[in-house]
């Protein structure tokens, strides 16, 4: 039973140098119109699935590079054809400089009740390092516009581990973030992906990333600061006020079924994980021919499902069932070394453990 639908919107007004998501700079409204038509056709190709939709999530790319009425068409298509929850969570990712108050009012009219802003920082020097094209004023104005449009569930993204960033810089950001009327904060460590301009500069030695010890101190600061101000961590990169955890993303980490549509989108249905082509032209051509644009497919057996429950579940603060791990001694070792805790039959990571989550995962699989 499909609980969540993810819609990938690959268009951006600017390609951030650290971003490795499938995205393209485009200002051609005809291409965007054609892409949305293709999304609707792809959804029709999966009309035979069983749906009980609780979440719709528009990610990218930057969904708000589209006219809000185009996003509304996709929402209406889904809600009029498939069974949806009366408490449907609809999230739209946005840059802080894309939409006006009237645009957010259009989204509200279509049922959007959660906005996620790719803010990353309120410090100008950080925004310049990250190659962002918005200002802190843009973010503050956008938050005000969202609230005035009647949408109160707002997430702000935060990036840490930025070259030149200090603990004092990070604390300044956290103070501003928590002074604002937002319900959710996602904090991501900056990653130097090899095929990005940022990653290439790091590999050449032209940009230096923070040392591991500083990254650990930054994560502890974020975790403590946000917890003290009422944002509870429920996943290694996400903190929320009570009742405002992102339901859609929780489906990923708790191994629930979801459908992803759009270029490069992934799905998990009936113990099969499948992904779409990253080539937008191939995506459009395949769907126009009535073909599913799937180029990768994996059937998960019981062992693979166990492994996924481990590496996905370790991201959650509640952790994993200890019975998923055959060697209980290794869990005891991680606990004694300060990397994890065991409570009520669950093994969860401490902040120290989170910093080496890939190593711990490899030992538990």
CA distances from 174 to 122, 156, 227, 228, 269 (A): 9, 11, 11, 11, 38
pLDDT score, position 119: 96
Decide: helix, strand or coil at residue 93.
Answer: strand
CATH of domain 2-253: 3.20.20.70
In this structure, what token pair is assigned to residue 284?
């459009």
pLDDT score, position 40: 98
The dihedral through the CA atoms of 350, 352, 354, 360 has a sign that is negative
Contact 8, 261 (CB under 8 A): yes
Contact 231, 242 (CB under 8 A): no
- Beta strands at 51-60 and 2-9: parallel, antiparallel or unpaired: parallel
In the DSSP assignment, the letter for residue 316 is B
Q: What average pLDDT values come out for the chain (365 residues) when binned by 10 residues? A: 97 89 89 97 96 97 97 98 96 96 98 98 97 96 98 98 97 98 97 88 89 96 98 97 97 95 97 97 97 97 94 95 93 96 95 94 92
pLDDT score, position 19: 87
pLDDT score, position 94: 97
Residue extents of the structural domains in the chain: 2-253, 304-364
Q: How many CB atoms lie within 10 A of CB 240?
A: 22
Which of 69, 110, 109, 113 minimizes the C-alpha distance to 92?
Answer: 113
pLDDT score, position 14: 87
135 forms beta bridges with none
pLDDT score, position 195: 86
Q: Tell me the whole-structure pTM to 2 decimals.
A: 0.95
């Amino acid at each position: 039973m499909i609980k969540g639908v993810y819609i990938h919107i690959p268009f951006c007004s600017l390609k951030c140098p650290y971003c490795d998501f499938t995205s393209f700079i485009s200002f051609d409204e005809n291409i965007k119109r054609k892409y949305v038509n293709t999304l609707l056709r792809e959804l029709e190709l999966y009309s035979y699935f069983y749906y009980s939709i609780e979440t719709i999530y528009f990610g990218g790319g930057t969904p708000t590079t589209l006219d809000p009425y185009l996003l509304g068409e996709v929402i209406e298509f889904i809600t009029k054809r498939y069974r949806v929850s009366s408490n449907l969570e609809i999230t739209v990712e946005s840059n802080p400089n894309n939409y006006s108050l009237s645009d957010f009012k259009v989204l509200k009219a279509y049922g959007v009740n959660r906005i996620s802003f790719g803010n990353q920082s309120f410090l100008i020097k950080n925004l310049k390092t990250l190659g962002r094209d918005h200002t802190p004023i843009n973010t503050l104005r956008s938050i005000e516009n969202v609230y005035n449009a009647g949408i109160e569930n707002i997430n702000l993204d935060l990036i840490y581990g930025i070259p030149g960033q200090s603990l004092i810089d990070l604390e300044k950001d956290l103070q501003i973030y928590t002074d604002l009327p937002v319900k959710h904060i996602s904090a991501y460590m900056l990653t130097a992906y090899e095929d990005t301009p940022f990653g290439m500069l790091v590999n050449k030695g032209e940009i230096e990333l923070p040392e591991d010890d500083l990254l650990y101190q930054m994560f502890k600061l974020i975790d403590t600061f946000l917890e003290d101000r009422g944002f509870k961590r429920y996943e290694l990169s996400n903190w929320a006020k009570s009742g405002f955890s992102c339901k859609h993303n929780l489906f990923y980490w708790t191994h629930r079924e979801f459908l992803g549509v759009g270029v490069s989108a992934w799905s998990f249905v009936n113990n099969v994980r499948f992904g779409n082509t990253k080539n937008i032209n191939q995506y459009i051509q395949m769907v126009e021919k009535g073909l599913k644009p799937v180029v990768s497919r994996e059937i998960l057996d019981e062992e693979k499902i166990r492994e996924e429950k481990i590496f996905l579940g370790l991201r959650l603060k509640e952790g994993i069932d200890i019975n998923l791990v055959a060697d209980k001694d290794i869990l005891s070792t991680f606990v004694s070394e300060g990397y994890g805790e065991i409570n009520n039959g669950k093994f969860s990571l401490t902040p120290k453990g989170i910093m080496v989550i890939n190593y711990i995962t490899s030992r538990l699989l």
